[in-house]
Structure 1
Amino acid sequence: MPSEQFHVRVSKDYLVFCSGHFITYDADKCECLHGHNYRASVELRAPLDHNYYVFDFIALKKIARALTDELDHKMLLPSGNPLISVVTEGRKMTVNYKDREWQFPVEDCLVLPIANTTAELLARYLAQRTLRELEEKHHFRPETLAVEVEESFGQAATYTWAR
């Protein structure tokens, strides 16, 4: 008996976020501050529902847009990196890595519960947030959920969650 699988994918021109970041690697290196014009896409796999949908495109686009809008025009900082300290003092955020220090206005920063602001971990963060929105607001749990984060043309990372 043949097996069928249905997927829906949203990848729109407005699912973008322009953000600054830096990455630590090899336990002793830290990139210079820089930014990307990221693009995101979301793909779900699930059986068709009573309307013959995997999931409503309009609702999925709203979720994806709200999440990418949260990241837009922010300095993305990791809270789970033991090499980086992030301290809020009044209206400024001070970030330290070894002997380097940066200060940013609090309103321009977004501290994320990740270890590094790589495209891979940003994709996982967005996937986990998308899954939570799907479950809490739409009572929907897909069989798989994939989020792709492209940091420049032709250079992307994908995180896939499966139940």
Structure 2
Amino acid sequence: MTASYRVFLEKEQLVFSAAHFITFNGNICERLHGHNWRVSAEVSGPLDENSYVIDFIALRDELQAIIAELDHRMLLPTGHPTIEVHASEREVEARFEDRRWVFPREDCILLPIINTTAELIAHYLAGRLLAALKTRGVDVPERLVIGVDENFGQWALCELTPSRAETT
């Protein structure tokens, strides 16, 4: 008989409030709006010497620190082909076609993604979490799934399966 293990983390404090807008179908751009985003994590892998897949406290603390950076911010994509984002020390200007937004620099998070969809935010969080866990000395899991809920039941999931090269 073989066993597989996974842990699931969803806590009240794994929430952030942030504004964004997305583009779709080429040239349609949503209005600026916000969500109370909820985040979950599922980690799969073998048990370690403590009989853990992963230390819940390490997982919670690292994920919470990452999402705290997004809380009460404007999320802007830096890799979008038609949204131009220019940041100075004091402000960030975003442009899409004939639309223009200017935000205080301290209110913005510039994300290295092409669109601020829940799917790509989940991917961003998963990559950041893997890096944070590795820095903390936690073994990289066999599988990591990050969920991002933007509207009470509208979840996007990103599953990463780190390669062996990423674990060393």
5+ residue gaps in structure 1? none
User: Which amino acid is the alignment partner of residue 95 of structure 1?
Assistant: A
- C-alpha distance in 1 between matches for 2:128 and 2:103: 25
Encode CA deviations 1:21-44: one digit per residue, 9 max, x unaligned. 000111111000000000001111
The corresponding residue for 1:30 is 29
SS in 2 for 1:71: coil
CA deviation after TM superposition for structure 1 residue 71, in Å:
0.6
Question: Do residues 8 (structure 1) and 13 (structure 2) align?
Answer: no
- C-alpha distance in 2 between matches for 1:139 and 1:42: 15
- The 5 Å alignment of 1:48-87 reads 48-87=47-86
User: Which amino acid is the alignment partner of residue 62 of structure 1?
Assistant: D
- C-alpha distance in 2 between matches for 1:38 and 1:126: 12
- C-alpha distance in 2 between matches for 1:70 and 1:123: 14
CA deviation after TM superposition for structure 1 residue 140, in Å:
1.2
CA RMSD of aligned residues (A): 0.9
- C-alpha distance in 2 between matches for 1:139 and 1:48: 13
TM-score, structure 1 normalization: 0.96
CA deviation after TM superposition for structure 1 residue 89, in Å:
3.3
- C-alpha distance in 1 between matches for 2:4 and 2:152: 29
5+ residue gaps in structure 2? 163-168
Relative distance call for 1:90 and 1:48 in structure 2 (3 A) is: closer
Relative distance call for 1:50 and 1:89 in structure 2 (3 A) is: closer
Percentage of identical aligned residues: 48
How many residues are paired up? Answer: 162
SS in 1 for 2:69: helix
The corresponding residue for 2:46 is 47
CA deviation after TM superposition for structure 1 residue 18, in Å:
0.2
The corresponding residue for 1:136 is 135
User: Which amino acid is the alignment partner of residue 141 of structure 1?
Assistant: V
The corresponding residue for 2:121 is 122
SS in 2 for 1:117: coil
- C-alpha distance in 2 between matches for 1:11 and 1:104: 31
The corresponding residue for 1:17 is 16
TM-score, structure 2 normalization: 0.94
